Every structure is written in C-alpha cells, then in structure tokens.
C-alpha cells in the first residue's frame, strides 16, 4: 500500500502500523515481566554478591582505617629519609587508640606481612608508649627500638596507605610486591599456588581426556544399538548420573582403600604382592579415577544426542564408494560428531576445574585442587579477601571456556538426560 492512498486504519481508527507496534511493545513487556522475578532474584542474591567478591578481594581499608592521622601526615612525606616529627606524633596518637581498644594485634599482623620483624617492634612500642611524655615523639619512639630509625619500616607503613590493593591477586600466582614496589616471585619452595593451578589444569585436562576416550565408544554403541537394548544400557549411564555425588565418592573410597576390592583383585591376579598393596586413595590416582567415573555421564549424554542424529546410511555410502571402515569412520562419522565432542569436553572440563568434594575426600594432600584451597581460606584461615581473589581468578578462567563453548555449541543447545 503506498502512502498516497492513505494509511490503513485498524477498527478503532489508529493507523495499522502503529497499532501493530503497540501490540509488539505490549508483548515485549509481557515477556519481560515473566522473566523479571527470576532475573531480579538472581541479580540480587547471586550476580551482585559475585561482583561484591571483587571489591572484597581488592579491599585493603583495614590498615588505612586504623591509622587515619598517620596517613594524613604522611601525605607530605617523600619517603626518602626518616619522616618528620608530625608523622611520628600522628602515628603515636593512632597507635595509642588501637592499644586502648585492644585492636593493635591486627595492625601488628598486617604490618608484619609487609615487613618481617614489624610485630616485635610494634609490641615493644605498645608496652612503652604508656610512659611517653608530651612532645618530641620522634626521639621517644626511636629510643624504644632502633628499628624505628630505619626508614624501611616507615616506608612499609606508607605502602599500606591506599584503600585498595591487588596484592591478593599477586599472592594467588605466588608473587608479591617487594620493598621497592617491584613485583617479584616468592621463593621457589613457597610457590604452592602455582602448583595448585597447574595441578587443577592437569587434572581437568586428563579427566576430560579419559572421559572422552571412554565415552566415545559407549555413546556410539548406545546410538547404534536397537532401542530395546540401548534403553537398558542407558540405565548404566543415567543411574550414576542421578545418584548422589557423595554416594559415588563413598563407593570409590571403599573400592580403592588398601584392603579394598581393587587391591584384592590386583593381588589375586598377581600384579602386586599382598604386603605391597599400592596406596590408591588420598593421592592423585584416587582423584583421577573417582572424578572420571563421576563426570563420565556428562560426556556420554551430549555425544549420544549428537550421534543419534547421524544417519547410518552415511557410513554405508562411504564404504560403498570404496572407503575402508576406518577411513569411512575418520572421514565421515568422526567429523559429524565434533559438535558433541566439543559440548561434552567443555562441560566436563568446566565441571572438573571447579571440583571440590571428590578431591577433598579422596585426593589427600597431593590430589587437592584450587577449589580446596579456596574452601580452606574461607573456613580455616578466614582470609576471605584472598579466597575471593582466587575464586575470581578461577571464575575468569571458567568464563573464558564458557565463552568458547557458547561460540562453538551455543548455550541453549545444552541437553539434559
């Protein structure tokens, strides 16, 4: 309809175009309103708290708030030589309040992180400051301990002035910023986090590989068998899938213990002697075996759903054109299953990289992963900002993988069961 003939009007006299637009807008709002309750709920209880972990991980206001006057006075100080009298006075006044409120211990611990040996110096000051006379605090403080004459200690205090720090992230990769503000690695024998990161990646990689190698043949079998047999065999995949994670871990703990059935079997077939039963639990072996079995269904199901759609006539066509079964498999069948492989591998990898329960129970000391370290700092050391920093580093890794997954398969193609 051209514009010269006039606009088409709907029954209530509004131009049709506008009326349609209105209806469209109404539908949009309706659809959005349906999603809103869940979206709001998740944003408030989940998304914002995760974002909040970031502010917690860089938060370093504790020391800043404990020494307000000192940091005010230090603004003028260039850090080259010993600070002037005002800084000493401000520090004395701040510290006096801390001692009075019995919170000086926290400052001692925090500053000791910054410079070793700070704790004893501060403790001594806490005892002596009661007898301080008014005026000339610089002299009096320096008399308490000779280290107060060392400008390094004052620089250490100044380094904690900013309310935000990225030091927790550096600690997560075994680095720290030293006295000159340079970023350096910690001593070689103390690089525990890097070992954990690489072990986590290694375990996730190999578990994914094992799962793939084991899932491919059985997914193929399930997809090619007649329904009545495959349904029965599918139970072998689905029953573990629906069974409690702890139950499955418990069964592995029974199987893998030193007097357990697997070891009995090894002794029986003569692989090991009765008195040299290998330790298969509380180490990496246990983590590998149990995690592979637990995550295997997550690999089988996407592979199966892709293989189910591949027509068997494609393989027959390949063979009839002269390909050997092996060539037909690698040139025809395998490329068609790649979407399933991608989905399964990324799903298993994402799940494995953040695994917590199974490594904690069967992993022992050499089989624990980065998640266990996060839980340890959450529950034992109570260094929540460090736990948050490690969690966010892990999350970043997972989101990168998730993004790849989305590009390759699309998140709305996830199939369950």
Partner 1 sequence: MALPKYTEPHYRIWHYFYLFVCGCVFFFLIAPLFVIFPLSFNAEEFLVFTDGMKRLDPDAFSTRWYKDMVYGTKNPWGLAAKNSFIIAIFATIGSIILGTLAALGLSSRHMPYKGLIMATLISPMIVPLIISGVAIFFFMAKVGLAATHLGIILAHIILGTPFVVITVTATLSGFDHSITRAASSLGSNPFNTFMKITLPLILPGVISGGLFAFVTSFDEVVVVLFLAGLDNTTIPIQMWTGLREQLSPTILAVATCLIVLSVLILVTAELLRRRSERLRGINR
According to the binding rule CB under 8 A, does residue 267 interact with partner 1?
Answer: no
Residue with tokens 């997560």: 172
Q: Select from 240, 310, 336, 383 the one that contacts partner 1 (CB under 8 A).
A: 240
For partner 1, the binding residues in 308-347 under the rule CB under 8 A are: 308, 325
Cβ 404 to partner 1, closest distance in Å?
A: 12
According to the binding rule CB under 8 A, does residue 140 interact with partner 1?
Answer: no
Residue 74 main-chain phi, psi, to 5 deg: -75, -15
Residue with tokens 């390094």: 152
Pick between residue 128 and residue 220 the one whose CB is nearest to partner 1.
Answer: 220
Separation of alpha carbons 40 and 27, rounded Å: 20
For partner 1, the binding residues in 2-61 under the rule CB under 8 A are: 24, 27-28, 30-39, 41-43, 45-50, 52-53, 56
For partner 1, the binding residues in 87-116 under the rule CB under 8 A are: none
According to the binding rule CB under 8 A, does residue 374 interact with partner 1?
Answer: yes
Q: Select from 20, 239, 271, 327 the one that contacts partner 1 (CB under 8 A).
A: 239
Cβ 179 to partner 1, closest distance in Å?
A: 32
Tokens representing 27 are 């539908």
Pick between residue 9 and residue 400 the one whose CB is nearest to partner 1.
Answer: 400
Of the candidate spans 191-199, 267-275, 313-321, 374-382, the one that interacts with partner 1 by CB under 8 A turns out to be 374-382
Residue-level length of the chain: 417
Other Cβ atoms closer than 10 A to 101: 9
Share in percent of the chain as helix, strand, coil (round to 5): 75, 0, 25
Pick between residue 42 and residue 183 the one whose CB is nearest to partner 1.
Answer: 42
Cβ 385 to partner 1, closest distance in Å?
A: 11
Tokens representing 367 are 């089989």
Q: Are 90 and 137 in contact (CB under 8 A)?
A: no
C-alpha pair distances (Å), 351 with each of 74, 354, 357, 375: 49, 6, 12, 17
According to the binding rule CB under 8 A, does residue 166 interact with partner 1?
Answer: no
Q: Select from 67, 296, 328, 348 the one that contacts partner 1 (CB under 8 A).
A: 296
SS3 for 290? helix
Cβ 66 to partner 1, closest distance in Å?
A: 23
Of the candidate spans 12-20, 101-109, 142-150, 223-231, the one that interacts with partner 1 by CB under 8 A turns out to be 223-231
Cβ 358 to partner 1, closest distance in Å?
A: 11
Pick between residue 43 and residue 184 the one whose CB is nearest to partner 1.
Answer: 43
Q: 338, 207, 376, 218: which is closest to 284 by C-alpha?
A: 207
All residues at 6 or more sequence positions from 401 whose CB lies less than 8 Å from its CB, including other chains: 346, 349, 350, 353
Separation of alpha carbons 39 and 242, rounded Å: 28
């Amino acid at each position: 309809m051209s514009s010269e003939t006039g606009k088409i009007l709907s029954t209530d006299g509004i131009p049709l175009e506008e009326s349609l637009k209105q209806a469209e807008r109404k539908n949009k709002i309706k659809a959005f309103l349906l999603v809103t309750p869940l979206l709001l709920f998740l944003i408030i209880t989940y998304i914002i708290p995760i974002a909040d972990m970031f502010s917690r991980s860089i938060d370093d206001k504790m020391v800043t708030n404990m020494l307000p006057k000192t940091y005010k006075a230090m603004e003028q100080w260039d850090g080259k030589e010993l600070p002037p009298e005002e800084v000493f006075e401000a520090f004395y006044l701040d510290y006096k309040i801390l001692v009075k409120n019995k919170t000086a211990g926290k400052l001692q611990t925090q500053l000791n992180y910054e410079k070793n040996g700070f704790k004893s110096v501060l403790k001594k000051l806490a005892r002596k400051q009661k007898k301080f006379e008014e005026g000339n605090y610089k002299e009096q403080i320096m008399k308490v301990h000779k280290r107060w004459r060392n400008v390094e200690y004052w620089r250490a205090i100044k380094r904690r002035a900013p309310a935000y720090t990225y030091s927790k992230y550096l600690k997560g990769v075994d680095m720290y910023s030293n006295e000159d503000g340079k970023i350096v690695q910690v001593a070689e024998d103390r690089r525990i986090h890097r070992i954990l990161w690489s072990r986590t990646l290694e375990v996730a990689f190999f578990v994914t590989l094992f799962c793939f190698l084991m899932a491919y043949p059985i997914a193929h079998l399930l997809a090619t068998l007649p329904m009545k047999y495959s349904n029965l065999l599918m139970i072998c995949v689905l029953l573990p899938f629906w069974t409690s994670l702890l139950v499955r871990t418990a069964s592995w703990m029974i199987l893998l213990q030193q007097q357990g059935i697997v070891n009995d079997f090894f002794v029986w077939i003569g692989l090991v002697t009765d008195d040299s039963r290998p330790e298969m639990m509380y180490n990496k072996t246990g983590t590998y075996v149990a995690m592979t079995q637990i995550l295997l269904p997550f690999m089988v199901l996407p592979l199966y759903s892709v293989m189910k759609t591949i027509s068997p006539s494609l393989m027959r066509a390949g063979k009839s054109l002269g390909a050997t079964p092996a060539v037909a498999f690698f040139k025809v069948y395998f490329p068609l299953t790649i979407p399933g492989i991608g989905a399964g591998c990324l799903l298993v990898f994402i799940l494995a990289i953040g695994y917590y329960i199974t490594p904690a129970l069967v992993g022992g000391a050499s089989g624990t992963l980065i998640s266990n370290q996060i839980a340890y700092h959450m529950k034992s050391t109570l260094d929540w900002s460090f736990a948050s920093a490690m969690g966010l580093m892990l999350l970043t890794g997972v989101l990168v993988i998730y993004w790849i997954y989305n590009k390759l398969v699309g998140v709305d193609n996830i199939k369950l069961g």
